[in-house]
Amino acid sequence: MKLENLSSSQVMIYAELTTQQLDELDRYGMDVTLCESFGGMTEEEKKEIHDSLSLKIVKIEETRLSLVKEINRRMRRDLKIGFGPSDVQPYLNKFQTEFPLIGKGEAEVKAWLAKKEKETKTKLKKA
């Protein structure tokens, strides 16, 4: 399949569909693992199913990545914004590394600040 021959809407639809397929296969793999852990199947049966699922996942993921790269390429080219959807998360990760409290709730932020304050007081007492 030549992605260049597909319309952007077709590429987007296929990307979404392959993502849904991956999510469904992944959820099923988790269900298989739980079933085995509850005693509903043997380790060998679980492995057989996981091996089969893995083959499908690898093929679909390969296709999904091609679709995502095409979406990114078209957005960069057509919209002239310099980045595509796949570039957003790495960009945000830079801030998250520097400011790990972004996205945390009020209680988590206050707990983290209290812990840091306690650590600072402990260091000052030792010094």
As a whole-number percent, the residues of the chain with pLDDT over 90 amount to 72
Taking 90 as the threshold, does the pLDDT of residue 121 lie above it? no
pLDDT of amino acid 53:
98
Q: Which amino acid is at 49?
A: I
- What mean pLDDT comes out for the span 106-124? 91
Site of tokens 């399949």: 1
* Closest among 53, 14, 5, 15 to 33, alpha carbons compared: 53
Average pLDDT over residues 84-101: 91
Predicted local distance difference test score (pLDDT) of residue 1: 66
The gap between the terminal CA atoms of the chain, to the nearest Å, is 67
- Top-confidence residue, 5 or 64: 64
User: pLDDT, tens digit, for every residue of 17-61?
Assistant: 999 999 999 999 999 999 999 999 999 999 999 999 999 999 999
Question: d(Cα 45, Cα 32) in Å, to the nearest integer?
Answer: 9
Can you read off the two tokens belonging to residue 24? 């469904």
Over 90: is that where the pLDDT of 112 sits? Answer: yes
Which amino acid belongs to residue 34? Answer: L
Identity of the residue numbered 102: I
- H-run or E-run covering 45: helix 43-74
Looking at residue 41, what is its pLDDT?
A: 97
